[in-house]
Amino acid sequence: MLDTSEKTTELGVFLPVGNGGWITSTTSPQLPATYDYNKQVAILAEEMGFDFALAMAKWRGYGGPSKHWDITLESMTAMAGIAEATSRIGVWGTVHTMVFHPAVVAKMTAVIDQISKGRFGLNIVSGSNPSDQGQMGLWMDLDHAERYELAEEWLTVLKRLWTEERVDHKGKHYELIDCMSNPKPSVQPPIICAGASDRGFLFTMEHCTGSFMLGSDHDDFIKTGLRAKELAAQQGKPGFKTYGLFTIVPGATDAEARERVAYYDSGVDTIALDNQTREYSGDKSFKQNTMAQRFVSQGESRNSMTRAALVGSSETIGRKLAEIVKGAQLDGVTVIVPDFIDDLRTVGTEVVEVLAQNGVMTNAYTHQKAAQ
């Protein structure tokens, strides 16, 4: 069993760059998805000692009365701004491989590397929703495995442009002739992917430095996390990092937190959920597409948010989260909350304290103690 006493678990915030955050409801906090709001969240996270702020990439909303995700900030430009507005926290942006040419991303990342002074990280998405990128004609008619093949070529080109003076490449999807890309990033940015299928995970393990992962419940999280660590050890990649994504709904008591979820469920936006289901069901590789299956099942169950959410008092959440972090040997935790100011503050103060009491140390906790 891993000795967690000497390890620091990274803590990150999944920035609400889409309106409404991750709750599809008219009765949940109607987060605005403005740059100013997200900047405020990132600065708060930095002040509390969080390690990274991550922005997703999403191009199309789901409508309905909540207009869920009808407004989304573009990820890389938002993180460039946030890089300038912060000084310590890691700034992680997301690209869809089908949307940007790798040579464009090589330059974008090098610029954000300069703005952030080496704090940038890249989340790569091979694509799971045909309508999202299809609405602008950028969805390619590839099956799930082919999308990861494209991502492999894409990342090979990107890494070469980051390190080589001139690149010649003739592949299936990209052709570069004596391609120059300067400036180079000052450090090779961490590259993360959330590929959860076997194919997606293999891609992530081979080509990235870390993996984002989800669990449908406590046991599933532990199983998924341990499988990743075992595979990493087998493949001689002991430094490979795993980051769990957790939706956290805190309350003064467990009952109060459960009431919050019930209240958000009372306003569940079934029209937006149906639109989401329809879009994801359109993938010809639906059977292999684990994200599509998750969203469709949430839509069918008519829940406003994932049932894997950690709901309760800070004590309850901290205890359960510590069990998963230790059991799954996670290197990091990425947090979603209903309200990214008050609830994030609860996570960054109370929950990290309970985590520490249960053997999970975070920089946020150390930071808090040093300030007292």
List residues near ligand FMN by CB under 6 A.
Answer: 56-58, 94, 123, 125-126, 128, 194-197, 200, 212, 214, 245, 289-291, 334
DSSP of 258-271? HHHHHHHHHTB-HH
Helical axes 144-163 vs 198-207, angle rounded to 10° = 10
For the chain, how many residues are written?
Answer: 372
Q: For ligand FMN, which is the closer residue by CB, 15 or 103?
A: 15
Q: For ligand FMN, which is the closer residue by CB, 120 or 212?
A: 212
Q: For ligand FMN, which is the closer residue by CB, 197 or 304?
A: 197
Q: For ligand FMN, which is the closer residue by CB, 15 or 322?
A: 15
Residue 178, H or E segment: strand 175-180
Joined together, the tokens standing for residue 195 give 């590929």
Are the C-beta atoms of residues 20 and 69 closer than 8 Å to each other?
yes
- What is the smallest separation between the CB atom of 197 and ligand FMN, expressed in angstroms? 3
- What is the smallest separation between the CB atom of 39 and ligand FMN, expressed in angstroms? 19
Joined together, the tokens standing for residue 287 give 């059977």
- What is the smallest separation between the CB atom of 328 and ligand FMN, expressed in angstroms? 14
- What is the smallest separation between the CB atom of 120 and ligand FMN, expressed in angstroms? 15
Q: For ligand FMN, which is the closer residue by CB, 158 or 245?
A: 245
Cα 76 to Cα 95: distance, rounded to the nearest angstrom:
8
Cα 364 to Cα 49: distance, rounded to the nearest angstrom:
4
Cα 354 to Cα 368: distance, rounded to the nearest angstrom:
13
Rounded to the nearest 5°, which phi and psi values hold at 371?
A: -80, -15
> In the complex, which residue's CB is closest to ligand FMN?
200
Spell out the residues 6+ positions from residue 314 whose beta carbon is closer than 8 angstroms to its own.
250, 346, 350, 351, 353, 354
Q: From its phi and psi, is residue 312 left (phi > 0), alpha (psi between -120 and 50) or beta?
A: left
Q: For ligand FMN, which is the closer residue by CB, 13 or 106?
A: 13
Q: For ligand FMN, which is the closer residue by CB, 76 or 356?
A: 76
- What is the smallest separation between the CB atom of 144 and ligand FMN, expressed in angstroms? 7
- What is the smallest separation between the CB atom of 211 and ligand FMN, expressed in angstroms? 9
Q: For ligand FMN, which is the closer residue by CB, 57 or 73?
A: 57
* Residue 281 burial (C-beta neighbours within 10 Å; 0-12, 13-18, 19+): middle
Cα 153 to Cα 174: distance, rounded to the nearest angstrom:
8
Helical axes 75-85 vs 35-47, angle rounded to 10° = 50
- What is the smallest separation between the CB atom of 191 and ligand FMN, expressed in angstroms? 13
Cα 173 to Cα 138: distance, rounded to the nearest angstrom:
13
- What is the smallest separation between the CB atom of 288 and ligand FMN, expressed in angstroms? 6
Q: For ligand FMN, which is the closer residue by CB, 212 or 264?
A: 212
- What is the smallest separation between the CB atom of 258 and ligand FMN, expressed in angstroms? 24
